[in-house]
Copies of this chain bind each other. A is one copy, B any other.
Amino acid sequence: MERFVTRRRVEFADTDSGGVVHFSRYMVFMETAEHQFLAARGIDVDTRIQGKRVSWPRVSVRCSYQRPLIFGDEVEIEVGVARRGRRSMTYTFLLRRGDDEIASGEMTSVCCVIEPDGRFTAISIPPELAGRLEEGEPGS
């Protein structure tokens, strides 16, 4: 699998009074990296299919924290695909600062449409999106 890598700089509002980045902000770091990974494959996460908005809510997430990040740090976030399901994508994330491994995570997002009443209905990943997701896979 090819590597997809993005970078961001820790903002002051990412930190907490322990002096380091709050652990909840890693979720945002991972989500935005996921969106950039998809954008690099021509996939807009906020799209419409047959008039309905598509969303990719999480069904599970986990993160292990090895070293803290502080204000001003530049973080490198590597995104990989652990599993490409019919309705869901499972991504892996590796966060580094220089040579230091900071954290690793995994997230499963399900392809859904948002119904007019606001409810989410899981759908098969539409063929045009699935095709773009496959193009980044090994052997393709």
Interface residues of chain A, those whose CB is within 8 Å of chain B, are: 11-13, 15-20, 22-25, 27-28, 31-32, 35, 44-46, 55, 57-65, 68, 70-72, 114, 118, 120
Contacts and interface: CB of A to CB of B under 8 A. Distances in A.
A118 B114 CA distance: 14
Contact of A13 (B31, B60, B114): B31
Given A44-B72, A45-B12, A65-B60, A24 B28 contact: yes
B57 A20 contact: yes
Copies of this chain, count: 4
A17 B57 CA distance: 11
B23 A20 contact: no
Contacts of A60: 62-65
Report the 10 A-B pairs with minimum CB-CB distance, sorted nearest first: A62-B62, A24-B27, A15-B17, A13-B28, A23-B58, A18-B55, A60-B64, A17-B19, A24-B24, A11-B32
Given A13-B28, A17-B20, A44-B72, 18 more contacts: A11-B31, A12-B35, A13-B16, A13-B24, A13-B31, A15-B17, A17-B18, A17-B46, A18-B55, A18-B114, A18-B120, A19-B114, A20-B57, A23-B27, A24-B28, A46-B71, A59-B65, A60-B62
